[in-house]
Amino acid sequence: MFSLGYKVRIDCVTKEEWSSLLDRFEDANIYQTWSYGAIRWGERNLSHLLLMRDDEVVGMAQLRIVKIPMLPYGIAYLRWGPLWLMRERKANDSNDSIVTALADALLFEYVYRRRLLLRIVPSAFVGSQRCQELQAAFCESGTLPISLGSGDHTFLLDLSPPLEILRKRLDQKWRNRLNRAEREGLTLHLGEGFEDYQVFLEIYKEMWGRKRFETSVNVQEFASICRDLPKSSKLKILICRHQGMPAGAVVCSAMGRGGIYLLGATNELGRKAQAAYLLQWAMIKWLKENGFAEYDLGGIDVDRNPGVFHFKSGMSGQQMTFMALPDICENHLSLCIVRLLDGVRNATSGLRAAL
């Protein structure tokens, strides 16, 4: 069943090798870094797949493996993978053949050999070429994925226009607040060290103490990820100060072809000075000036968090819906176990929301 001309290596790569390989891919992202996987899920729960052609890596995927203790049943979870858009590619390696080979490899290793349920949450938007390539690959491999929306949305900002055009496209009210922030005498510092993240944490704690909002993001966990990431994948931490005092900060990942807005916070000083607007505009400028093609503004939910939705919409990015792939499983026990765990998680989330 495996694609002719390709070979697969499973769990035969070191952390340093994986990080070096990520740098070769335009679709690299923080969720496929070893540091994110090891700290978020535990290093011993990771599996790494490399797709080879002519002894060169042309595709890769990092998965989280969750199994019932002492039993071979469970789930293989792939977030924002697989990766296949190499910065430099040989003429005989088309996207279609590589994605099909990746689909074959994932199915063979995790569904057929390990007997796990395979759940893929790809970094692909409904209607995009990437979505179409994934659909075609899994159809050819004998499964029937769907490209219906997953229910997860974001704003994606195209950074190709000149800066003056990007600024002109900002919503009028958003641009007015940016103009005001620029008159406040705010200063900016871009760093990527753990000490910079600590400054963000202090601002975040003050903001959370004021708002007491519900969040699924573990900022302390990201602190550990920040410390562990290699130089080429370091988080970008933009800090805004007013008269030397921290007022706000944003935390972004900048890898491959784009940036991802991960975290942001302003304290009372920053709120009054409209620091959030200056921070986002400064990050847009930095990403564009450093050759990145797009800026993913992060998750949005107009019903649960309308304020964040309207703030992000003011940057005039295109609203996108992530594609969904169905779970793939041939083992009835793995399927039942994962469905049970999903039910428990959903019930727990609903209970937390009701309290």
Could you report the per-residue pLDDT of 211-264, keeping only the tens digit for each? 766 667 789 999 999 999 999 999 999 999 999 999 999 999 999 999 999 999
Query: Domain spans of the chain?
Result: 7-148+324-354, 155-319
CA distance 297 to 314: 11
pLDDT above 90 (res 303) = no
* Tokens (6 digits) for 309: 């939705």
* Tokens (6 digits) for 148: 């219906």
Indicate if 155-319 has the same CATH topology as 7-148+324-354.
yes
Mean pLDDT value across residues 162-166: 98
Residue pLDDT, tens place only, 105-140: 999 999 999 999 999 999 999 999 999 999 889 887
The chain-wide mean pLDDT, for the chain, equals 90
Q: Are strands 258-266 and 294-300 parallel, antiparallel or unpaired?
A: parallel
**Range in 193-207, 283-297, 310-324, 337-351 the model is least confident about:** 337-351
CA distance 197 to 191: 8
91 — pLDDT class (breaks 50, 70, 90): low
pLDDT at 151: 74
Rg (CA), the chain: 21
3 — pLDDT class (breaks 50, 70, 90): low
Q: What are phi and psi of 43, to 5 degrees?
A: -60, -35
User: 155-319 falls under which CATH superfamily?
Assistant: Gcn5-related N-acetyltransferase (GNAT) (3.40.630.30)
Residue pLDDT, tens place only, 172-204: 999 999 999 999 999 999 999 999 999 999 999
Give me the percent of the chain exceeding a pLDDT of 90. 74
User: 7-148+324-354 falls under which CATH superfamily?
Assistant: Gcn5-related N-acetyltransferase (GNAT) (3.40.630.30)
Straight-line distance from the first to the last Cα atom of the chain, in angstroms, rounded to the nearest whole number: 50
143 — pLDDT class (breaks 50, 70, 90): low
351 — pLDDT class (breaks 50, 70, 90): very low
> Which residues neighbour 160 within 8 Å (Cβ) at sequence distance 6 or greater?
293
Higher pLDDT, 309 or 334: 309
5 — pLDDT class (breaks 50, 70, 90): confident
Predicted model pTM:
0.92
Residue pLDDT, tens place only, 310-320: 999 999 999 99
> Which residues neighbour 185 within 8 Å (Cβ) at sequence distance 6 or greater?
242, 243
pLDDT at 319: 97
Which residue is associated with the tokens 């994932």? Answer: 106
CA distance 171 to 65: 44
CA distance 69 to 89: 42
pLDDT above 80 (res 89) = no
Q: What is the 3-state secondary structure (H, E, C) of the chain?
A: CCCCCCEEEECCCCHHHHHHHHCCECCCCHHHCHHHHHHHHCHHHEEEEEEEECCEEEEEEEEEEEECCCCCCEEEEEECCCECCECCCCCCCCHHHHHHHHHHHHHHHHHHHCCCEEEEECCCECCCHHHHHHHHHHHHCCCCCCCCEEEEEEEEEECCCCHHHHHHCCCHHHHHHHHHHHCCCEEEEEECCHHHHHHHHHHHHHHHHHHCCCCCCCHHHHHHHHHHCCHHHCCEEEEEEECCEEEEEEEEEEECCEEEEEEEEECHHHHHCCHHHHHHHHHHHHHHHCCCCEEEEEEECCCCCHHHHHHHHCCCCEEEEEECCCCECCCHHHHHHHHHHHHHHHHHHHHHHHC
Higher pLDDT, 304 or 105: 105
